[in-house]
Amino acid sequence: MSTESWQPQRSLAVILIAFAMAPLAWAQKPPDYSGLFRKQDAMIPMRDGVRLHTEIYVPKAMPAALPFILERTPYGLADDKKGFSRALAHYDDLIREGYIFVLQDIRGRYKSEGQFVMNRPPRDKGDPKAVDESTDTYDTIAWLLKNVSHNNGRVGMLGISYGGWLTTMAMLDPHPALKAVSEQASPEDQFLGDDFHHNGAFRLSYGFEYAALMETTHENFSFQFDKYDTYEWYLRLGALSNVDARYFHGKLPTWDDFVEHPNYDDFWKKLAFWPYLKNPTVPDLNVAGWWDQEDFYGPVKIYELLEKNDPKHLNYLVVGPWNHGGWARNPGRKLGNIDFGSDTGQYFRANIQAPWFAYWLKDKGQLPLHEALTFETGSNQWKQYDSWPPRQAVPRNLFFGESGKLSFEPPIANYDASFDSYISDPAHPVPYRHRPISPTYPGPGWPTWLLEDQRFAQSRPDVVTWETEALAQDVTVAGDIVADLFASTSGTDSDWVVKLIDVYPENYLPDPKMGGYQLMIADEVFRGRFRNSFEKPEAIVPQQVTEYKIDLHANDHTFLTGHKIMVQVQSTWFPIIDRNPQKFVPNIFKASDADYQQAIQRVYRSPQYPSHIVLPVIEETQSTAGKR
């Protein structure tokens, strides 16, 4: 594609972006909302005079004053032919309970006035004229209480992804009437673990396509690729320095921010929540999905931040077998090729989310969970915990061994084979999912790529693999999983990708087509230049063995008897992660095509350098988790 040929094109499929980002559920036969609600369109004034487009849905049958359910979004309200938002489709259980629903375009998006700023940072509270998403939420609630009759003076708020981030922002300076929130899949830190970077490694295809989507115009637009396989398109693009010269031309602020802030500087820290979230002042139901392809780090981290100082017990966590927002719109029995044996999404909406808001906003019923409710995949059952991670989990080391063996026994001396090696070539990177790789939005493969069979990667010469024998008994892990990697490179910079995999038996009687399936349970990438500091990157010393402790994040999973546990390590994951030049340069966004080079990678597995995975194992006899 030439520079001149790229033009932003509106795409209906992108407007249906709810399937990946926005909490819009498209029911096959949605009810006629015009028979249930009286709709009011309002332009609600903010403290700086900007007006925000808001749709208010008041039930026609109101036996008593009702609380509000507020959702704010940058993705549009997607009204149907009668002018009623399709976003109502994922509120069936809440509609039956009875609320006044309020849906709002945030400033600068769709029908709202003002300038849109991606993840607008918290304001300087010393400036009385400053605004942010917290003040916009505060001003909206104040207007609703005054101008919408028959409300009971209480407001609940929820949202997914960007909407979850907006919900968390509302907690920074909450209106007194905000009595309950549910932060769902909110990003917490865009450099360390969420949408745009993981451990400093840039999420290329997501960052590129999302910036074009959100900042090309006032509404959602999709970048038009001239290759169906975006792996080929991004590889042909070459160095990141080609992006702005060929396509964006300085017109996308978010891309410019990527380029000018390659390290963990004050720009990224100001966008994170850890400097601001000190203790919960509003009850918060944090919601995450084990296979969230965009924001798994965020909700679990927000829960951890709030849990540090929660004397009033206002902080709760639910994690299920879902992808990004999957709990809001799907039955939740299957995801990709994996069957979880029950409708987990419907269970959450009816038995957790609806009772949660009824308890706080209507003084009705009881809280539906003690502290943390997680779905234990593998065994496919809900578990209640009094703390997360569970206190009873015991760390056990799973060691890399010779001949591709993985074992709980530490390695013994074998000086002839103390490492496994491979050549990492940026010109031939490992694809992050099966090719052809369709666009992130509206490509159909993106929402379930984390559940794809990993055999396509295992067979590559630039991926090294270790595997246990078939398990003689179940191994249940619940809590944080960490890779302790000892590795060297012939280059001066390197990425390390670690994947923890559940390997199904070859003769899998429940579903023979799943025989030998390699299901990724936990994964992460780490950019080697940040091994000592995310603020100040350093070149790697060639051929020097270096330890990398890589957080693979939390999980609750049982590796069943007869299954195997596998670990894969590689150095490219393309194009979800940009290619590391493998030569240290001050700013990879400004590297040239000539900077990219091959490197010889070694992963050590000796007594001196015992690479291993730390698993938080729960023995069945120790478990105090209750089935639901």
Instruction: Report d(CA 50, CA 109) in Å as an integer.
Output: 12
Q: Are residues 402 and 445 in the same domain?
A: yes
**Hey, what are 330's tokens?**
């799907």
Instruction: Report d(CA 22, CA 91) in Å as an integer.
Output: 14
Residue 53 lies in a domain: yes
CATH number at residue 578: 2.60.120.260
Domain interval for residue 491: 394-627
User: How many other C-beta atoms can be found within 10 angstroms of the C-beta atom of residue 254?
Assistant: 18
Residue 306 neighbours by CB under 8 Å, 6+ apart: 277, 279, 280, 284, 286, 314, 315
Cis peptide before 575 (omega within 30 of 0): yes
DSSP strand E in 336-405: where? 338-339, 372-376, 381-385, 394-400
**Any idea which residue has 């999983």 for tokens?**
481
User: How many other C-beta atoms can be found within 10 angstroms of the C-beta atom of residue 624?
Assistant: 12
Listed as ranges, residues in the chain with pLDDT below 50 are: 1-27, 621-628
Among residues 269, 294, 314, the one where a domain terminates is 269
Q: Which conformational region is residue 48 in: left (phi greater than 0), alpha (psi within -120 to 50 degrees), or beta?
A: alpha
Per DSSP, 580 falls in state P
Q: Are residues 555 and 612 in the same domain?
A: yes
Domain tally for the chain?
3
Which residues, in sequence order, are bridge partners of residue 501?
Answer: 520, 566
Does this model's pTM top 0.75? My answer is: yes
Instruction: Report d(CA 376, CA 340) in Å as an integer.
Output: 10
User: How many other C-beta atoms can be found within 10 angstroms of the C-beta atom of residue 394?
Assistant: 11
**Hey, what are 193's tokens?**
């673990």
| CA atoms within 13 Å, Cβ hemisphere of 33 | 25
CATH number at residue 139: 3.40.50.1820
C-alpha distances out from residue 603 to 210, 507, 528, 566, 607, Å = 34, 32, 14, 15, 13
Residue 510 lies in a domain: yes
Which residues, in sequence order, are bridge partners of residue 554?
Answer: 480
**Hey, what are 333's tokens?**
């029995």
Instruction: Report d(CA 536, CA 192) in Å as an integer.
Output: 14
Instruction: Report d(CA 126, CA 254) in Å as an integer.
Output: 26
Per DSSP, 353 falls in state I
Amino acid symbol at 589: F
Instruction: Report d(CA 541, CA 549) in Å as an integer.
Output: 17
Q: Which conformational region is residue 333 in: left (phi greater than 0), alpha (psi within -120 to 50 degrees), or beta?
A: alpha
Q: In this predicted model, what pLDDT tens digit does every residue of 351-386 receive, in sequence order?
A: 999 999 999 999 999 999 999 999 999 999 999 999
At 142, give phi and psi (nearest 5°): -60, -40
Instruction: Report d(CA 310, CA 56) in Å as an integer.
Output: 33
Q: Are residues 349 and 203 in the same domain?
A: no
Q: Are residues 356 and 440 in the same domain?
A: no
Cis peptide before 442 (omega within 30 of 0): yes
Instruction: Report d(CA 627, CA 620) in Å as an integer.
Output: 13
- What pLDDT is attached to residue 78? 83
> 92 in helix, strand or coil?
helix
Contact 445, 453 (CB under 8 A): no
Round the CA-based radius of gyration of the chain to a whole number and report it: 24
Q: Are residues 506 and 563 in the same domain?
A: yes
- What pLDDT is attached to residue 19? 33
Instruction: Report d(CA 302, CA 310) in Å as an integer.
Output: 12
Q: Are residues 197 and 147 in the same domain?
A: no
Q: Are residues 219 and 313 in the same domain?
A: no
Q: In this predicted model, what pLDDT tens digit does every residue of 187-201 receive, in sequence order?
A: 999 999 999 999 999
Q: Are residues 84 and 181 in the same domain?
A: yes
Residue 565 lies in a domain: yes
Instruction: Report d(CA 611, CA 522) in Å as an integer.
Output: 17
Entry field: residues in the chain: 628
Residue 382 lies in a domain: no
Residue 12 neighbours by CB under 8 Å, 6+ apart: none
CATH number at residue 206: 1.10.3020.10
- What pLDDT is attached to residue 168? 97
Instruction: Report d(CA 355, CA 374) in Å as an integer.
Output: 17
Residue 593 lies in a domain: yes
**Hey, what are 148's tokens?**
């919408």
Residue 313, classified by CB atoms within 10 Å of its CB into exposed (0-12), middle (13-18) or buried (19+), is exposed
Residue 389 lies in a domain: no
What's the N-to-C CA distance of the chain in angstroms? 54
Q: Are residues 427 and 364 in the same domain?
A: no
Instruction: Report d(CA 558, CA 478) in Å as an integer.
Output: 9
Q: Are residues 31 and 168 in the same domain?
A: yes
Q: Are residues 361 and 261 in the same domain?
A: no
For residues 618, 621, 624, 628, the Cα torsion angle rounded to the nearest 10 degrees is 90
Q: Are residues 402 and 536 in the same domain?
A: yes
